[in-house]
C-alpha cells in the first residue's frame, strides 16, 4: 500500500476535491483504495458516506478493532473499490493487514500545521500539495515545504483552479515552474464549474459528466502521481539492496 496525503495548511485550495476525484480515478483503473478523512470538517467521509463495515477487515486483528469503540473502523462505500474511514489512530497506517488489503491509502488532511498533521505526514509515503496561482498561496509554500522537509517526506505540488482567462495565472504558473522545477507537476487542474456542480450533486466529476474536459487534466495528474510513486518504489528497492549488501 502506498499512502498519499493531500496537504496544504492553506484552506480551500482543493485538498478534499482532489482526494475524492483522484481516489475515484485510481479505483477506476482497478486499484483498491482506502480513503482516510483526517479533517474534522468530515467533508470527504460525508461524500463517501461510509455504509456497512467493510467485511474484508472483519478478521482484522482484534487489536485494531479494540481501539475503536464501534468495532471495525473501516466502512464500505457505494464504490466497490473504495472503502473509507475517519482517522482515529494514525497507527492504522502501519498495520500489516491494512497495508496488504489496499493499493493506496488516500488521505485528506485539514488546513493546519500542527503536531496532528505532522504525525500523519510522517507515516505517509508521498505528499501532494494543491496550490492556487495567487500570491498568498505561493508565499505560504515555503512553510509547507519546511514542514515536509522536517518530517522527511517527498512531495510534489500541483496547480488547482487554473484559469487561462486570468492574466496573472499564466505568469504565476511560469514563475512557479521556474522556481519549483520537478516539484511542480506539469498538469494543472483547471478552474471547472463541473467540479463545483459535481460535488453539489454528490458525485465525482467523472460520474457527473463523463466528457468533462477537466477529466483529461485529472487523468494527466493521476499519471504523474503514479510515475512518482513508481520512482519511490525504485528508491525503496535500492534501499533494500543497499541494506542487503551491508
Ligand atoms: N478545480 C476547481 N474548479 C472549481 N472549483 C474548485 C476546484 N477545486 C476545488 N474547487 C472548489 O473550491 C472549494 C474548496 O475546495 P476543497 O473543499 O476541495 O478545498 P480544501 O483544500 O479541502 O478546503 P479545506 O482547507 O477547508 O479543507 C470548493 O467549493 C470546491 O468545490
Ligand atoms: Mg478539505
Task: Give per-residue pLDDT as tens, 134-161.
Answer: 888 888 888 898 999 899 899 999 999 9
Q: What secondary structure does DSSP assign to 42-80, as a single string?
A: -HHHHHHT--SB-GGGTTS-HHHHHHSTTS---EE-SST
**DSSP H or E segment with residue 138:** helix 135-139
Task: Give per-residue pLDDT as tens, 99-138.
Answer: 888 999 999 999 999 999 999 999 999 999 999 998 888 8
The C-alpha atoms of residue 112 and residue 126 are separated, in whole angstroms, by 18
Spacing, Cα 74 to ligand 1 middle (Å): 25
The answer to whether 188 touches 160, Cβ cutoff 8 Å, is yes
Residues with CB under 5 A from ligand 2 (ion): 15-16
CA-wise closest residue to 82 among 60, 104, 57 = 104
Question: Who contacts 54 (Cβ-Cβ below 8 Å, separation ≥6)?
Answer: 72, 74, 75, 76, 83
- Homologous superfamily of domain range 2-244: P-loop containing nucleotide triphosphate hydrolases (3.40.50.300)
Spacing, Cα 150 to ligand 2 middle (Å): 23
Which atom of ligand 1 sits closest to the CA of residue 8? 21
Which atom of ligand 1 sits closest to the CA of residue 196? 31
Check pocket membership of 218 for ligand 1, CB cut-off 6 A: no
Task: Answer yes or no: is pLDDT of 19 > 80.
Answer: yes
Task: Give per-residue pLDDT as tens, 32-82.
Answer: 999 999 999 999 999 998 666 665 444 444 444 444 444 457 888 999 999
Query: Is the pTM of the predicted complex or chain greater than 0.75?
Result: yes
Give me the residue spans of the domains in the chain.
Answer: 2-244
Cα torsion through 223, 227, 147, 17, rounded to 10 = 10
In total, the chain counts a number of residues equal to 246
Given the DSSP bridges, would you call strands 104-108 and 33-37 parallel, antiparallel or unpaired?
Answer: parallel
What pLDDT does residue 242 have? 67
The C-alpha atoms of residue 214 and residue 222 are separated, in whole angstroms, by 12
The answer to whether 39 touches 110, Cβ cutoff 8 Å, is yes
Check pocket membership of 29 for ligand 1, CB cut-off 6 A: no
Amino acid at each position: 500500500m502506498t499512502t498519499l496525503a493531500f496537504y496544504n495548511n492553506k484552506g480551500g485550495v482543493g485538498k478534499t476535491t482532489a482526494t475524492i476525484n483522484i481516489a475515484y480515478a485510481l479505483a477506476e483503473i482497478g486499484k483498491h483504495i482506502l480513503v482516510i478523512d483526517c479533517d474534522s470538517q468530515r467533508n470527504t467521509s460525508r461524500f463517501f458516506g461510509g455504509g456497512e463495515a467493510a467485511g474484508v477487515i472483519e478478521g482484522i486483528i482484534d487489536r485494531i478493532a479494540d481501539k475503536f469503540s464501534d468495532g471495525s473502523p473501516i466502512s464500505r462505500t457505494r464504490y466497490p473499490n473504495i472503502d473509507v474511514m475517519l482517522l482515529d489512530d494514525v497507527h492504522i497506517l502501519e498495520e500489516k493487514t491494512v497495508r496488504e488489503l489496499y493499493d493506496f491509502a488516500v488521505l485528506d488532511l485539514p488546513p493546519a500545521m500542527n503536531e496532528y498533521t505532522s504525525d500523519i505526514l510522517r507515516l505517509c509515503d508521498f505528499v501532494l500539495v494543491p496550490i492556487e496561482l495567487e500570491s498568498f498561496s505561493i508565499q505560504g509554500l515555503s512553510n509547507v515545504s519546511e514542514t515536509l522537509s522536517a518530517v522527511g517526506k517527498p512531495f510534489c505540488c500541483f496547480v488547482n483552479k487554473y484559469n487561462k482567462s486570468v492574466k496573472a495565472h499564466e505568469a504565476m504558473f511560469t514563475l512557479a515552474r521556474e522556481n519549483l522545477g520537478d516539484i511542480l507537476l506539469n498538469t494543472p487542474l483547471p478552474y471547472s464549474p463541473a467540479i463545483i456542480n459535481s460535488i453539489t450533486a454528490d458525485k465525482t466529476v467523472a460520474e457527473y459528466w463523463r466528457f468533462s474536459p477537466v477529466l483529461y487534466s485529472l487523468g494527466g495528474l493521476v499519471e504523474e502521481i503514479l510515475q512518482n510513486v513508481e520512482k519511490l518504489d525504485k528508491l525503496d528497492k535500492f534501499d533494500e539492496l543497499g541494506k542487503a549488501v551491508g
